[in-house]
Amino acid sequence: MAYPILLRRATLAGGALAFALAVDFATKWMILNLVMLPPRTIEVTPFFNLVLGFNTGVSFGMFREVFLDRPLLLAAIKLAIVAGLLFWAARTPKPLETISLGLIAGGALGNVLDRMRQGAVIDFLDFHVGRWHWPAFNMADTMIVIGVVLLIAGSYRPGRSMRPSQQPRSGAGD
């Protein structure tokens, strides 16, 4: 693999990862330091609230009991997943796939850092219909979902490649 291509892929994936982390950190900081002082439910629309939650489980609080006393175990598993996503991003020839994987990795890393610093992930986006509430989530989760949607969408259309163009060589026998 040529060095400039690897550098281009790393820049795309790293930029997407940095964007996801920046959005996640900024929104969580605002929620903790400005919006939720004191913690409460803020009705934004008839179907959306801002809340303050701390998720000690995996997605949507699943397996909370397993990881409650071992938050670093879940962080280690997610760090391994982030490393795998970045390895994949470095190897894919499609720019959209590289960006998608960077967003997913950035979202996952944002939640890992929460878990390592606080033992739980900060969630604050609460969508609901009547009394039925979707589990609260955050912008890191949103970046993961956007990344997955882009990854799936990109798999349905041929993307331009970051590989060097392979021109037919003219040989002596032409």
The residues that are catalytic are 123, 141
In DSSP notation, 39-61 reads ---EEEETTEEEEEEEE-SSGGG
Rounded-to-integer distance, Cα 164 and Cα 161, Å: 8
Alpha carbon 138 to its chain's center: 10
Helices 95-118 and 3-30 sit at what angle, rounded to 10 degrees?
40
